[in-house]
Amino acid sequence: NGILGQLFKKYPRRMVLLLDDLEHLSPKNVERLKYFFDHDFLRAVIITTRDAALLKLGESMRQRIRKIIVVHPPTEFDAVQVVRERLGDTVLSDRVIKETFRASGRNMQTFLANCENVCKAYVKNKNITEDDVKKMFDRGAAS
């Protein structure tokens, strides 16, 4: 709300707050979240964490939670689907995509970055294979 908003303590309304990869939430910040949520400054708070038990949310905070979604790690099938949706069926084979996913440690962000490198190699050599991907990511000795 700019400088005037800060001077008159005017906060934006109905905002969505994303707390990504949260590991710890102090009691002071929990109280702040409750205050802003209860006074309609926040419409929703989205918290992503690896282990929700470590956040130690109090009972009053738990009562405000509407939905908990557990997201499972992506599978090789999911990785193939992501590439197919973006590139179609003709660019990379399923085996090349799966090998790239394994070479990425099954991490989707790393996988997408590695797919870019594999696609660059594909432009140079249309017949790229799993072995080429293994060599690209130094997995030949580990396999």
pTM of the predicted model as reported, rounded to 2 decimal places: 0.61
pLDDT of 139 above 70: no
For 4, 87, 130, the CA distances from 95, given in Å and listed in that order, are 58, 15, 6
Buried b (16+ CB within 10 A) or exposed e, 31-53: eebbeebeeeebeebebeeeeee
pLDDT of 142 above 60: no
- Identify the CA nearest to 96 among candidates 79, 74, 113: 79
**In this predicted model, what pLDDT tens digit does every residue of 54-66 receive, in sequence order?**
888 888 888 888 8
What number of helices (H) and strands (E) belong to the chain? Answer: 7, 2
Range 7-35 average pLDDT: 87
- Identify the CA nearest to 134 among candidates 119, 118, 120: 118
Indicate the pLDDT class of residue 143, thresholds 50, 70 and 90: very low
Q: Which residue has better confidence, 141 or 1?
A: 1
- 141 φ, ψ (degrees, to nearest 5): -75, -30
